[in-house]
Amino acid sequence: MHRYRTHTCSKLTKKDAGQTVKLSGWVHRKRDHGNLLFFDLRDHYGLTQCVIENSNNFFKQVEKVKPESVVSVVGKVVKRSAETTNKDLFTGEIEISISSFETLSSAKELPLPVFGEQEYPEETRLKYRFIDLRRQEMHENIILRSKVISFIRNEMINEGFLEFQTPILTASSPEGARDFLVPSRLHPGKFYALPQAPQQFKQMVMISGFDKYFQIAPCFRDEDGRADRSPGEHYQLDIEMSFVEQEDIFSTLEPIFYNLFNKFSKGKSVSKTPFKKIKYTDVKNFNHNVDAFPFLYSIHVSQTIQA
């Protein structure tokens, strides 16, 4: 049997009843019923309920273990009765009857519990970010970010774009904010600047003869924090296209954004392409009445003339 697990915590169903399996993960929630002790075991993939009787040699050890301790269990997959089935879980039709238990890493009292979605002060969440990211909402947000970036990358490549990674340490190229400066070890008194955008390097790529460029680019700007982004840095989809007009940009990117929002909007309606366009003259006195214009988007287009 594998040292840590034969299955993940989202894989077992009633079809696996009778199998002896090994799972590893975090103790998510415990429920003590006297003669029986239940706990939900959690890993990246999901939850599986585990149960142990007080006659089991490992009962005292399980009883003492605190939530968020990392444990490994061996046991038999048992089909739950109809009245105890948890329809909210993929594994809700089964539980693991523990025959062996090992504590891999003991947890102390937590500054914020992982179970539940209570609100906690931002200072506490950031100080204990590794715990905060275990919470279901935050964990799913990180997974969503990864899927969105992967989706965008695949769509851009399918459209014939090449992905480039431009340098981070560079000379200052001021845009709309202050630069972050990095002192040079080899040249005392001189500094690198972190890029506010990959502007110069991507344009160098284009005048070198490449036709379509994109990058999911880190951008660093020494400005005050805002409610909708981390202070000082963000990532943006950065593109360049050669020998194109404005409509070429729209016709290329609108289907990508439509597919993106349609895939990840959780059933919300998305405007079909081509998107409606609003002239500047119609909105220059726009008073931020969202009901009047339910969806606005703008796109910055850089056209590079081949030298």
pLDDT in tens, 30-49: 999 888 999 999 999 999 99
Per-residue pLDDT at 278: 84
pLDDT band at 304 (very low <50, low <70, confident <90, very high): very low
pTM score > 0.75 for this model?
Answer: yes
CA dihedral for 19, 25, 29, 30, sign (positive or negative): positive
In the chain, % of residues over pLDDT 90: 73
Residue-wise pLDDT tens digits, 254-282: 999 999 999 998 888 888 999 988 888 88
**Cβ–Cβ contacts within 10 Å for residue 184, how many?**
12
Contacts of 3 (CB under 8 A, 6+ apart): none
Tokens representing 262 are 């349609």
C-alpha closest to that of 93 among 29, 39, 15, 6: 15
pLDDT band at 142 (very low <50, low <70, confident <90, very high): very high
